[in-house]
Homo-oligomer: A and B are copies of this chain.
Amino acid sequence: MLLDHIVYSQQFTVPKLMELFERTEAMKKIVKRGGTKDYESKIMATLFYAPSTRTRFSFESAMFRLGGKVLSTENAKEFSSEIEGERLEDTIRMLSNYCDVIVLRHSEEGGAGRASKVSPVPIINAGDGSGGQHPTQALLDLYTINYECKTLDGLSVAFVGALDKGRTVRSLAYLLSKFDRVKLYFIAPDELQINKDILDHLDERGVSYELLSTSEKIISKVDVVYQTRIDKERLKKKNENLSRFNIDYNVLQSMKKKSIIMHPLPRSVEITPDVDSDPRAAYFRQTENGLYVRMALLTMLFDK
Contacts and interface: CB of A to CB of B under 8 A. Distances in A.
A213 interface: no
B45 A35 contact: no
A58 interface: yes
A91 B82 CA distance: 27
A83 B53 contact: no
A71 B57 contact: yes
B84 A268 contact: yes
A220 interface: no
**Mostly helix, strand, loop or mixed at chain A's interface?**
mixed
A3 interface: no
Interface residues of A, number: 51
Interface stretch (A152-160, A251-259, A284-292): A284-292
Interface stretch (A93-101, A129-137, A167-175, A198-206): A93-101
Given A86-B267, A97-B288, 11 more contacts: A35-B41, A43-B65, A51-B78, A52-B78, A72-B72, A79-B266, A82-B266, A83-B229, A83-B268, A87-B273, A97-B291
